[in-house]
Amino acid sequence: MLSRKEIEELKERYPKGTRVCLYEMEGETTVPPGTKGTVTMVDDIGQIHVKWENGSSLALNTEVDQFYVITPQEELSEKKELEFLMKVREIFENVDFELLHISCNSDGNSYAAEKLLAMHLAFEEVYGEGYVNESYGMVVMPAVIKGIESDVHALALVSLDLQSSGEHWGTTFFSPVGPLMQLSDKLTEAQKCFIKVNYMPYDYWYTPLVERDHHVDFESMPESVVAIRKLVEEHLASQQTQKMEGPKQF
C-alpha cells in the first residue's frame, strides 16, 4: 500500500493531461499493450485514472501495471509520421500497382521514378528539406528495395530508428497486388510467400538525407536502383545548387 508521500509524488509526476502508453495491465485485457491514453487524475489511494484511446477508463496501479510517459517529442514524431503516411496514401490512391512493378523492373522506369519523387516531396513537406532531425526517433521513409537473390525491385517505405544510427525496423513493399507490410499479422499465407520469394533478403536505399547511418551503402547502388532514384537525385542536386548560390538579388 502506498504512503501518503508516495501518493503526493504520483500526483506531481502524473498531472492531468499527461500522455501514457501501456506495456501491460495486470489481470486485464480490456486495454491491450500499446494502447495510449491521457491521465485525468491521480486519486487518494494512488491509482492513475486514464482516458484510453480505445474508450476504456480503467485506472493504472503503479505497483503492478507497466506503462511509460509519452514525451512531447514522441507525440510530435507520431503526428508527423501520420501526416506523411496520409500523403503517401493519397499518392497511391489511384496507382496501377502492376504497372508500378513492371516499371521498377524494366528500362521503362519513369512511372516508378515519378512515384518515388512524389513520396520524397511529401516527406519534405512534413519534415522539411535537408537532413532529418535525429530527435524524431523512428521515422518512415520512401525507398527503393532490391531482392538480393531474386533481383526484384520495388518502391517501399522503410522504418528507421534515427537515434540508433538508422537501425532498420521493417518495410512496407509496394507490390503488384498493393502495399504489403513486412511484419503485419494481417498478411495472408500467399502474401507472406510472395514477400519471401520476391524480396527476402533485400537491400534498401531511402531518399531523405540522414547523418551517421552506417547500415546503407549509397556508394555502391546498382545502376537499376540509380535509374529509379534519378528524379529524386536531380531534385536534391537542385536544392544543393540553390543553397550554394544563395538568395537572388533584385
Average pLDDT, whole number, for the chain? Answer: 95
Q: What is the pLDDT at residue 250? A: 52
Instruction: Give the range of the structural domain holding residue 161, as residue numbers without chain letter.
Output: 73-245
45 and 161 fall within a common domain: no
| End position of a domain, from candidates 69, 88, 110 | 69
Does residue 42 have a pLDDT over 60?
A: yes
105 and 201 fall within a common domain: yes
Number of domains in the chain: 2
Helix (H, G, I), strand (E, B) or coil at 147: strand
Alpha helix (H) residue ranges in the chain: 4-13, 72-91, 97-104, 110-127, 189-198, 223-228, 230-245
18 and 90 fall within a common domain: no
- Domain assignment present for 28: yes
| End position of a domain, from candidates 42, 69, 96 | 69
Cα separation, 41 vs 138, in Å, equals 30
244 — pLDDT class (breaks 50, 70, 90): confident
pLDDT digits 0-9 by tens, 192-216: 999 999 999 999 999 999 988 888 9
Does residue 249 have a pLDDT over 60?
A: no
- Domain assignment present for 2: no
Cα separation, 229 vs 234, in Å, equals 9
Cα separation, 19 vs 238, in Å, equals 41
107 and 62 fall within a common domain: no
65 and 77 fall within a common domain: no
105 and 36 fall within a common domain: no
